[in-house]
Chain A
Amino acid sequence: DAKTTQPNSMESNEEEPVHLPCNHSTISGTDYIHWYRQLPSQGPEYVIHGLTSNVNNRMASLAIAEDRKSSTLILHRATLRDAAVYYCILQGAQKLVFGQGTRLTINP
């Protein structure tokens, strides 16, 4: 299973943008890049995914490097409810292979 590397933790302030990085240098050509987040005491929640092009949805934006060896999840205006563990996942098959994720803290 292809591996991702994320910082263990990040901190940001409310109403500011947040950029969460992910390195995936061993990504294969058919792997999708997925981001999920897990709020305290809840199951993981889908955030966004992409293959090659940058993607936007109501929750976030995903910026994918041209060589696909890294990506960045962008929360445009963080709120306290965005405090969670964010997982960057390469999906080459049906199952999701989670790493340790990045614990995001939002300061009021």
Chain B
Amino acid sequence: DTGVSQDPRHKITKRGQNVTFRCDPISEHNRLYWYRQTLGQGPEFLTYFQNEAQLEKSRLLSDRFSAERPKGSFSTLEIQRTEQGDSAMYLCASSPRSSGRAGEQFFGPGTRLTVL
């Protein structure tokens, strides 16, 4: 399968702990996106990379959140000092350079985070 992959699929942690999620986009897709989805809501945009450059960050991305995409391939999303409100599905998507604004984004299966 050559789709977007995310790891882990599920993460349970205690409040105050740090967690890190990984996203592997479709090969040669230069754009990578992170979204967050809480129960019953549509996904909300968090941040977007073009190659290794982080070009846009949502105000939802507080100081406790950091995302990286070294070398423009896989990406990591780290949450420090987790809070119960961070419990959500974290979705990663990628799209090719050629797609522009019109093209589709390919989503991964998501990482479900539960903060106890």
Contacts and interface: CB of A to CB of B under 8 A. Distances in A.
A94 B48 contact: yes
Interface in B63-116: 91, 93, 101-102, 104-110
Contacts, number: 56
Interface string A83-108: 00101000111111111110000000
Interface residues of B, number: 23
A75 interface: no
Interface string A10-39: 000000000000000000001010100000
Interface string A41-70: 011111001010000000000000000000
Contact of A92 (B31, B41, B56, B101): B101
A101 B42 contact: yes
Contacts of B44: 98
B101 A98 contact: no
Give the one of A43, A87, A93 with max B CB within 10 A: A43
Nearest to B48: A94
Interface string B31-48: 101010000011111001
How many A residues touch the partner, as a band?
A: 20 to 34
Interface in A71-91: 85, 87, 91
Contacts of B93: 43-44
A94 B32 CA distance: 10
